[in-house]
Structure 1
Amino acid sequence: MSRHTIILIVTGTSLTCAMGYRLLSNRHSDSHLTEHSRLKTEDASPAGLKSVISDALPLSSQRTESGHFDHLPPEIQGILENASLNADEKLDKLWKAFETHAREPEIARYLVDTMQFIKPTNKGQMVERIEAGLHHGSYDDGVRRSLVNLLASQFEHDASITSTTEWQLPGNPLVLASLRKAANSGDHATAHQAVLQYSRLGEAQDSISLLNTARSNGTINTNEYVKEISFHLPLIVDPAQQQHLLGLMENSGLPGQDLAEILATTAQLPHALSSLAPDSLHTIRRILDTNPPTFASDLLDLDVLALAQYNRWAGASSTITHALSGEPVPDLLTALVMYPGADPRALIAVAASPMSESVMQALTERGLANDALRQLDRFQLASGNTAEASGIVADIRMRLENRSNSRIPLPTGP
């Protein structure tokens, strides 16, 4: 696998999302981005929109990891392999096995996580069992988080109906009430996981109220609070309420670059741009513009994570500007990486992304190919340059030269 391919894999996801969301969105087109009258309303939009965004933006909490075993206890293996058991019978036996192994965290988590994939016919009984475990059992924090996740998995999703209707599906009000109860638990692990799970399932205003309380009492931290607010941002229809949420995020005390990183991710979620009012897009762009990512002071520090962060920021900034003005994204990216004094690693980040060929074409058409090659020279001529960094730059340089059919000779002097 080439160096360029490795960089592409790591840095490419965000720009792929940014440019590919039009393919993912079969409900809103880019041409509607500046037309507020066509923005979705929460009551009229499918519940699947929340599910799509939730899948693209994982919980900020630490996910529990199931145990991995070469050999499960025979009685558990027997339950899992018994095809004659129906769902309720299998859940009943797995729950009893969980109670038996409750003081063995890895096995207990494995059992609880396995139960997420089995749907009971008697959801009320399952919720009662989980509640009893959360509020009366004595378990490892990881087991408690898994129990909260199991509780949330009892919520029934239906992408074909509205969110309001989905909340009223049989059993869902019970699940939401149980999660809210868990969110007020005196046990931190239980409350923490329940707040974040409720945020992804509950009605937006109710979820935000719960997030405000959880942040004020220390159940979640500022970073988690802002990330969850950002999850709800594209799900809110009212432009004034969108601005209110952006105000909560800006006034949260989170450092500007951290806020910009979260908003850059949010802006590239499926449906996000087509769901946000123009004023909200302007606000997000302002926050991004005033908090650009920074590279390490050492020019030769080619940190892959820093390249990925720059890609998210540049992709979000460019797609938002495109949504507001219609300017082509490749031209906007080219302007970002080629302004006077730009860090050459910005060019490397974009040139190693899925937008690479489009940006290289824009560089050539705008007569900036030679300037771009000179930017790359700064790396190749720098004292102490590593073979890995030289190889990455050489890959990009070769592709740019092949497109522009012009080679800038390297200076011979210092």
Structure 2
Amino acid sequence: MDMSPLRELPAFRQLWFSSLITRFGSMITYVAAPYQIKELTGSYVAVGVLGVLETIPLIIFGLYGGTLADRVDRKHVVLATEFALMSCVLLLAINSRLEDPRVWVIYLVAMLAASADGIQGPSLNAIVPRIVPSEKLAAASALNSLTHSVGFIFGTMLGGVLVASVGFTYSYIFDALTFGVSMLLLLKLPRIAPTRQVHESPLPAIVESVRYAWSRKDLLGTYLIDTAAMVFAYPVALFPFLADQLDSPQSLGLLYAAGAVGAAFATLTSGWTARIRRHGMAVVYAAMIWGIGIAIVGLSNSLPLALLGLAIAGAADMVSGLFRSLIWNMSIPDDLRGRMAGIEMLSYSIGPQLGQVRSSFSAQLFGLNRAFISGGLLCTATVGACAAALPTLRNYRSEKL
């Protein structure tokens, strides 16, 4: 794995460590919040509703966040939203201290956090092409992916341990502390001001980015495939129930971490990706394998096989993400980068939220195993159909090796 961006680029190094620490802490809340709802309600649907409530703010504020990223200093946007996210987690800690914690408070805070995420995501993603030269983007993308997988692995595992040992309140407080450390690192970043002044009001600016995305059917294909894969085969809301079905409630952290283990393996062995030119087909094949991995989970009746299916899915998702990032970062002009990052964020954020809803209702109606199997197969079939309908994506090739 090429580590040169961390060695040679101080700004990227600060951003990378900040992202790693934030990701690590956020995964604790990622485990704690749905688990707390399960404990309070015992309902598949109540956990899945969390995804519904996060979707609308992501749509609205993700698009608005994209316009902000092209108008103001991206560093300032990221810092302000880190503070907002830390405040949200502290609200969860306060709620958990109540004698009778309120589910509606968890829902409300989730919506506020999704709003902050929506605003932050485009600026955070659009910083990378400004501080990393084009010849280092592939390595930087792999390193950024590593923060997601490593943070997910250890964050979710620690989240499971903390919830079981010290409870929800201290789990949330731990997450809040990581946001504080992250902000200290972000303060060291240089200014990331817009490359040109954007005079349009937000709505025309958003319309311009949507038109650009529509004119690039290769980009459009990456958005559609990622969204379809997540909507049909993102069953994370079912993990607490899967752990119970496997008679292994202590394995909840392992279920959350298994996909990230596969993703980390794919990232650490990602050197081969630099030799691939057909980035479009790499996205397609990886998304189809993700669906197959999720279906394997539904076919399993043991923890090891379930973990294997999730690890396969995680590795495939990481490969898909690496090639999507290369297509995006190497071909989109900087003056559109923030707004396009807003659209990109919608494709990889809304899909999982809707996927949690689909999997929850599917499990309620047809059973837990069928929810995994049907989702995985629908994912694979839908991705294949999208690829067949979009020859521009299938034929997309990188100009550089």
Structure in which a larger fraction of residues adopt helix? 2
- Tell me which interval the TM-score lies in, with the shorter structure as reference length: under 0.3
Q: Which is bigger in relative contact order (C-alpha 8 A, separation at least 6)? A: 2
Normalised TM-score (structure 1): 0.26
Q: Decide which structure has the larger Cα Rg and report it.
A: 1
